[in-house]
Amino acid sequence: MLTSPPLPPNAIRWLAALNIHRREQLQAVGAVRAFLLLKASGHTVTERLLFALEAAARGEHWSALDDATRAALRAAAGNHPPVRPLPPQAERQAFMAEALALAAEAARHGEVPVGAVVVHQGKIIGRGYNRPLGSHDPSAHAEMLALREAAAHVGNYRLHGCQLYVTLEPCAMCAGAILHSRLDHVLYGAAEARTGAAGSVINLFAERRLNHHTAIDGGIAAEAAAALLAAFFAQRR
């Protein structure tokens, strides 16, 4: 279990809220990401806490870190892609289930099974599933259609305060639209090794030169999303 020292008691409580209770869990998340998650959660954090997190992951006191390690931690925190705390598990499961149902609908229409929903304040305000074949529209990906419906719902293309749940890692086209919409957070299911623009091929969400930074997390109901895709392509073959 994480202890004080090297971590302050408050930090241990904050980490517990992120389901980080043990050294192994902190190592898996990484000191820099854990630090940024605490900051994104609204806690007042200092550089010293960043060092303490790294020390806790190593099993030593923060004062044992040398200057080179501290400089590397500062640089990593400054260059890290944006992060946001994950919504509660029940919430993630419920909204990804809606996206999976839309993906299944796409498959019924002969489209690659990808579904997406946009969520604002706990309510779905945009839905979409892949329709490029049926609509003769190369831009009619699930994410694009969900974004369009959500933007029409709020009367603004900027979707601050919204999350997008999508069953497959976004492509470059969809990633660009997501960034342009100023979405807060994207949660996707299966990775897309051929066209994924959230880290599989490129990571547009980590490109600091773009005008907005949307947090992104993958692996949400990944097995169910991948199974839909595998069944679809097996049937096509």
Which segments are annotated as binding site for Zn(2+)?
Answer: 141, 171, 174
**Binding-site sequence positions:** 141, 171, 174
Given 54, 143, 169, 192, the catalytic residue: 143
Give the count of beta carbons closer than 10 Å to the beta carbon of residue 8.
14
- State how far Cα 106 lies from the chain centre: 23
Angle of CA points 115, 119, 122, to nearest 5°: 130
Token code pair at residue 44: 């007042």
Please indicate whether residue 143 is annotated as part of the active site: yes
Tokens 């299911």 label which residue? 189
Contact 117, 164 (CB under 8 A): yes
Q: Give buried/exposed letters for 66-99 (b at 16+ CB in 10 A, else e).
A: eeeeeeebeebbeeebbbbebbeeeebeebbebb
Please name the residues in contact with 176: beta carbons below 8 A apart, sequence gap of 6 or more: 204
CA distances from 90 to 96, 192, 203, 224 (A): 10, 25, 28, 16
Q: How far apart are CA 106 and CA 147, in angstroms?
A: 17
What are the catalytic residues? Answer: 143
